[in-house]
Chain A
Amino acid sequence: MQNKLASLILGLVFGALIALVYGWLVRPVEYIDTSLDSLSIDYRTDYVLMVSESYASDQDLTLAQVRLAALGPQALDEYVTQAIDYALDNDFSRADLERLNALAIVLRALPQPAGIGPP
């Protein structure tokens, strides 16, 4: 009986190992319809930079806000701040930094949405 139990456990462990290798490495779950909030930091920074480039030209703050809101639930100026940090770390051009900064300033100047406070 003990031998049979050992065989069962051995098979179970071996099968689970094979399955994990297959499920995680050979054929992992594929995400082909991702959203903007899953973009890696470099692409997200470029996205924010494009928003700031467009805003610098058309001065359409509502459109810029709508575009930034697609990145996720954070406050919009946080995305721009993160982009500026990344841009500083990666030696972006001065013109790019100025555009990002201009957008950040405008967004920070907006009244913050009212949070849920104590009664």
Chain B
Amino acid sequence: MSRRLFLILGFGIGLAVGLYYAWLISPVEYVETAPYSLRADFRGDYLALIASAYASGGDLLRARTRLALFPDLDTATELAALAQQRLAAGLADTEASALSQLASALSQGPIRTPVPTVSVSPTPSNTPRPSPTRRPTAIPGAAFLLTSREQICDPLLSEPLIQVVVLNAAQGSVPGQEVIVVWDTGQDHFFTGLKPELGLGYGDFAMTEGVTYTLQLADSLQPVTHLAAHECEGQGDEPYLGSWLIQFEQSP
């Protein structure tokens, strides 16, 4: 065999041994990772924690800074979806509520994405911060009253819904309000603000045909009874099931 053949053979063996060592025996270790590389479930936990911290202090700027650690995040949509997932999974209501509050707050006003920095810690320091933007909230202690309940026939809705709108005394939308729905064989709950594109105080629940529901705001003693999908006349011969629109308003 020629000398060149031995050189190529050695190169091939060396390449194989080197890759085996670099990828399997001693791969690059990532011990100083950033939140964006987290696995999906940890990412969800991290986002929920950002929302919980926001709900506790109302510091939207800080929440935005933290969310900026996830460059691929479609913020309002992903937070709202995460809130619904957590509700569906039966996890802590407070987290779902916090997520909906943060999603609602983020959907308001211009998005001011913080300038990402490499060397600066994402954590806050003594640097004076602008005061946080306050989301519209309910006045603590004031009762919510039913102001309207109406049957609606909207052929664009794919299923019959109980649509709830919650307003504060100043007619502002109130996100994060828990709404409880009860029927003969069960109960469920949802929060306003999980669909910010339909209004921050909006929430809905899909009805099953033939079932009668009672609805109540968690912060209200006033139940709304006898809610059931009703028949609406379609443009053709086909009737379809209609929805309910329920509005609550906080007493001044």
Contacts and interface: CB of A to CB of B under 8 A. Distances in A.
Report if A and B associate in a common complex: yes
A24 B28 contact: yes
A90 B120 CA distance: 10
B27 interface: yes
Interface string A36-53: 101111110111011101
Interface stretch (A11-19, A73-81, A106-114): A11-19
A91 B28 contact: no
Interface residues of B, number: 52
Given A7-B7, A18-B18, A36-B42, 4 more contacts: A40-B33, A46-B66, A50-B53, A96-B123
A19 B14 contact: yes
Contacts of A87: 123
A67 B18 CA distance: 40
A7 to B, nearest CB: 4
Contacts of A70: 42, 45
Given A15-B18, A31-B37, A46-B66, A7 B10 contact: yes
Contacts of B122: 42-43, 46
Report the contact-size class of chain A (Cβ under 8 Å from the partner): 35 or more
Contacts of A12: 10-11, 13-14, 17
Contact of B18 (A16, A34, A58): A16
The A interface is mostly helix, strand or loop, or mixed, namely helix
Contacts of A47: 46, 49
B contacts with A: majority SS: helix
Q: Which 5 A-B pairs have the closest CB atoms?
A: A19-B18, A23-B22, A11-B10, A15-B14, A57-B56
Interface of A: 3-5, 7-20, 22-24, 28-29, 31-36, 38-43, 45-47, 49-51, 53-54, 56-58, 60, 63, 67, 70, 87, 90-93, 96
A99 to B, nearest CB: 9
A38 B14 contact: no
Contact of B52 (A19, A31, A50): A50
Contacts of B11: 11-12, 14-15
A91 B17 CA distance: 48
A40 B14 contact: no
Given A19-B19, A24-B28, A50-B49, A96 B124 contact: yes
Contact of A63 (B32, B46, B92): B92
Contact of A90 (B16, B31, B35, B121): B121
